[in-house]
Structure 1
Amino acid sequence: MPEYRAHLDFDISFVNGGGLSGTGFRLDLPSADLDEPAIAVLLIRHLGLALVDDVQLRSVRIVAESHRGSRGVDIDAPGGGVRIVDLSHRIHAGLTTYPGLPAPVITPHLTREDSRAKYAPGTEFAMDVITMIGNTGTYLDSPFHRYAEGPDLAGLDLSTLVGLRAEVFHLSDGLTAERRGIRRETLVDRDVRGAAVLLHTGWDSRFGTPEYAVGAPFLTGEAAQWLIDAGAVLVGIDSVNIDDTESGGERPAHSLLLGAGVHVVEHLTRLGEVPPRGARFTAAPPAVEGFGTFPVRAYAEVPA
């Protein structure tokens, strides 16, 4: 179904005095046929305002545009059921995920032709060997990736990896080369306790190119600490790293999140197809002992 947002300017006055004004504001709408009084109510609810006296809207335009997570806008799924959005990059021989790390190599262990001599007529199999670093494709970091005493992939609780409530922050139209860091203030309007926080930056469009590694968006350390304090159980991003790889080797987001037992998923894709709220997220790696990072088949279950 198409989604709609209102672009508007506003002036709000309060019963007990004072006022609030905004220009170029954007607000999610449940449909395209709302009148201005209904939009004013949504604006009040989204901003969390009390004791409002009057709302004056100006330059209101309703456009077809994906929702970004305005509060107070709930849309019931019309058909019931769910659709699956695959959020993982495909892995293939020669894939460059993170510049400087080795690409996967896929070689046959048993070809179909050779297998015919080992099985009954008409029966054949292919068995292949893949050699790759754990940081390949879309992958999950366990605490062991950063801390020797932290749980490895085999030590992770599946309940923190499967069917998590997803809070998706659509940030692709708000990040710039001058402001790449995702700040705490951008995240504080959501209840993220027990949730997978997924950061949609749009950087996945550069995946597999040299541009992917340069000027990438990242999560600031202050924002990572806020997510920990707010009770998030997993944080994912569609960028080259959850930290700023151009900061001289510092990794505050990794250090804080993994130190608190919060999983990190990097190199997600297609987050633009997942609504801000209402989806379920899964990203479970194999239970490999003594290993900290491994590819996942990350996906979202979205109300259909």
Structure 2
Amino acid sequence: MKDWINERLRYAKVNYEVLIIKGVLLFLGMTIMALGIALYIPTGLGKSQVDFAVFTFVYVAKGKFMSDGDAVATIYSTTLMLFYVTAMIVSAIFGLIATIREYKKNKLKAIWIPFATIVVTDLIITFVFPYFVNFFANPLGTKGLGVVGLVPKMAVWLDSLGASSQGVRSWMFVLAFIVFCFGIALWVKSTWAPGSYNSICTQFMALTKLNYSISRIICDLIIVAPAVVAVWFVPTTDGITPANSFFTNFSIATIAFVFVAGPIINIMINGIGKLKFLNFDKMIKPHMQEAETIKK
């Protein structure tokens, strides 16, 4: 443990510029990803794989555990938090298996420290990231901080366009989707505090040795698959039926987030890495190389 800490301190002293850049990438990545989420919500073109899963289980819980007069909003945040906690647990399982394999090969006890660090930072991000989203608008778009009321204001503007809004909504979704992917690319490139959503993918990569594109698609399918099954158990109440719940929330947007996001993010990560001031492999001193989480 002491040797590992001393090595990290030497690394920080020699490569402090890299650490500063990674810290900036982490903050920008989280902020830009949150902006992408806030921008896509008012387009009304369906839900991301995460929101599809969350809203599905909200509807199920609303029918089984809440009276008809209770608003879905009252349990959305709790369901979202439980979702990220579940993702964190799955990520930890993937990471544990990969770490055990690595430990059997080299018998280095220090490899448990990065694993423990990721678990702790995932837990922190689980509770911190919602504040980044709320900087622009809360998950249900009822109010916002920072950029006050971004989601409801955009929704009102789009509604005011009438029939011509469909084309605008489509292009706004494309913009939001690109912003979302770029934010994740910056966040993942930082290699710091990936959070449960990103960590489940990077840990899966370490476990399977697959590249980012394939791993992201598989992990997104893991996220959305239980919801696709659960949506047909949504009770018919307040005008909500399993069928309209599915077709309202599962759409081209969901498909894009599941099958297109991974390849686009991978292209962005590789492109970012080609920038001279973001090419960590060349910036880090040869004797202090830090393992990257992205498989080229």
TM range (shorter): under 0.3
TM-score by length of 1: 0.21
More helix by share: 2
TM-score by length of 2: 0.22
- Which fold has the larger relative contact order, with Cα–Cα distance below 8 Å and residues 6 or more apart in sequence? 2
More strand by share: 1
